[in-house]
């Protein structure tokens, strides 16, 4: 009998698609012989600590409805080192593992798992900080070239229903 798995996938913005993540994770679960108990999609920054959809997965873990959480990569589950370690410790109390598609499993009951759980989130947070610095650098370079960024003065587009008057 395979493990009961929950699939968690996340994108940062609404214009990004989760289809590939869902397809790849569902196939991954099938190859591992895991039964998929829940599939949860989240849209939002991985740096945010309060993610409603991820809380649903945590509730499944706490109620012992799942044995494993599948994510496409570690950074999809959490980018903050402290948050990631806290959730991994919580999950370990409930005997639930997190497995990324790259095959890394987090078994915090072993020294090897605790070492990975310490190193990899730090690398993910470092990567996020580098991306942020790159974006800021790009914006500064655009401003130096005279590019006007942000909301421009003048007419603003009206939202649907803006012409309706309150009575």
Note if 12 is an active site residue. yes
**Quick check: 18 and 72 in contact, CB under 8 A?**
no
DSSP state of 164: P
Q: Which residues pair with 36 in a beta bridge?
A: 5
**Quick check: 3 and 34 in contact, CB under 8 A?**
yes
From the list 12, 45, 132, 137, the catalytic residue is 12
SS3 assignment for 67-96: CEEEECCHHHHCCCHHHHHHHHHHHHHCCC
Residue 162 phi, psi dihedral angles, 5° rounding = -70, -25
User: Among residues 78, 88, 87, 90, which one has the least CA distance to residue 122?
Assistant: 78
Return d(Cα 33, Cα 107) in angstroms, integer.
19
Catalytic residue annotation: 12
């Amino acid at each position: 009998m395979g493990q009961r798995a929950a699939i968690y996938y996340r994108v940062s913005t609404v214009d990004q698609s989760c289809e590939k993540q869902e397809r790849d994770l569902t196939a991954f679960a099938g190859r591992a012989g895991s039964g998929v108990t829940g599939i949860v999609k989240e849209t939002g920054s991985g740096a945010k600590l309060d993610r409603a959809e991820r809380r649903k997965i945590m509730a499944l873990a706490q109620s012992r409805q799942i044995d494993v959480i599948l994510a496409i990569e570690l950074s999809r589950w959490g980018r903050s080192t402290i948050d990631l370690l806290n959730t991994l410790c919580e999950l370990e109390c409930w005997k639930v593992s997190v497995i990324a598609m790259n095959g890394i499993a987090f078994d915090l009951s072993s020294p090897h798992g605790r070492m990975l759980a310490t190193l990899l989130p730090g690398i993910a947070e470092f990567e996020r900080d580098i991306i942020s610095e790159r974006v800021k650098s790009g914006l500064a370079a655009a401003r130096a070239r005279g590019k006007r960024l942000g909301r421009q003065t003048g007419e603003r587009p009206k939202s649907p229903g803006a012409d309706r008057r309150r009575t």
